[in-house]
Amino acid sequence: MTALHSPFSRKLGAFVALSGEELSALERLHGRRKSFAAGRDMVHQGQVNQSAYILASGWVCSYKLLSGGTRQIVDFQIPGDFLGLRSVLFRTADHNIEPVTRVEASEVLASDLLETFSRTPRLATAVLWAASRDEAMVVEHLVGIGRRDAKERTAHFLLELGARLKLVGLGTALEYSCPLSQYMLADAMGLSAVHVNRVLRELREDGLVTFQQGEVTIHDLDRLVTLADFDKTYLDHDGPLLK
Partner DNA sequence: ATCGTGGACTGAGGCAGATCAGTGCCAGTG
Partner DNA sequence: CACTGGCACTGATCTGCCTCAGTCCACGAT
d(CA 135, CA 133): 5
Least distance between DNA and beta carbon 111 (Å): 37
Q: Say how many Å lie between the first and final Cα of the chain, rounded.
A: 26
Residue closer to DNA (CB basis): 28 or 201? 201
Q: What is the DSSP letter of 108?
A: E
Residue 70, classed as helix, strand or coil, is coil
Tell me which stretch binds DNA (CB under 7 A): 54-62, 118-126, 146-154, 155-163. 146-154
Please tell me whether residue 90 binds DNA under the rule CB under 7 A: no
Query: Residue 149, interface with DNA (CB under 7 A)?
Result: yes
Report phi then psi at 215, rounded to 5. -120, 130
Q: Is 212 in the site for DNA (CB under 7 A)?
A: yes
Tell me: does residue 81 bind a copy of itself (CB under 8 A). no
Which of a copy of itself, DNA, none does residue 72 bind (CB under 5 to 8 Å by kind)?
Answer: a copy of itself
Which residues in 127-186 contact a copy of itself (CB under 8 A)? 127-129, 131-136, 138-143, 145-148
How far is Cα 43 from Cα 123, in angstroms, rounded to an integer?
Answer: 25
Strand order in the sheet with 96-99: 71-77, 60-65, 96-99
Binding site for DNA (CB under 7 A): 149-151, 181-183, 186, 190-195, 197-198, 200-201, 212
